[in-house]
Amino acid sequence: MEEKYKSMEEKMITIKRVYKPVNEADGKRVLVDRLWPRGISKEKAEIDEWMKDIAPSNELRKWFNHDPEKFEEFSQKYKEELKEPEKKKELDKLIEMSDGNTVTLVYSAKDEEHNQAVVLKHYLEE
């Protein structure tokens, strides 16, 4: 992994469900879902940036279907997708946003341990 990704360890990256209350400590709120979350308005979500392109592909998202038994394989496949050029641009933008700031990766999945935001956060910290 490139050196600038390693520097993310010094940054503050957190994850949070979009349905949880917004908090000042969230810093910049970045939605990392491909689809807008159901039942929440843009005003209530208070999203600073919606990075659809950094989300898992539709194919991978549908295959995973939030099945915890598939999470390990999903993680590996998603990390491979994150190496694609269009996703790298979004990663670079995310790194730039986090320079000196807290960034919260916001997602809509019910499972707080098995979702793309968890994988993305770990990827950035590797």
Q: State yes or no: pLDDT of 99 exceeds 90.
A: no
- Helix (H), strand (E), coil (C) string for the chain: CCHHHHHHHHCEEEEEECCCCCCHHHCEEEECCCCCCCCCCHHHHCCCEECHHHCCCHHHHHHHCCCHHHHHHHHHHHHHHCCCHHHHHHHHHHHHHCCCCEEEEEECCCCCCCCHHHHHHHHHHC
Annotated domain spans of the chain: 3-125
| Separation of alpha carbons 27 and 29, rounded Å | 6
pLDDT for residue 6:
38
pLDDT of residue 10: 53
- 123, pLDDT greater than 70: yes
Question: What average pLDDT does the chain have?
Answer: 91
CA distances from 13 to 16, 68, 90, 93, 96 (A): 10, 23, 15, 14, 12
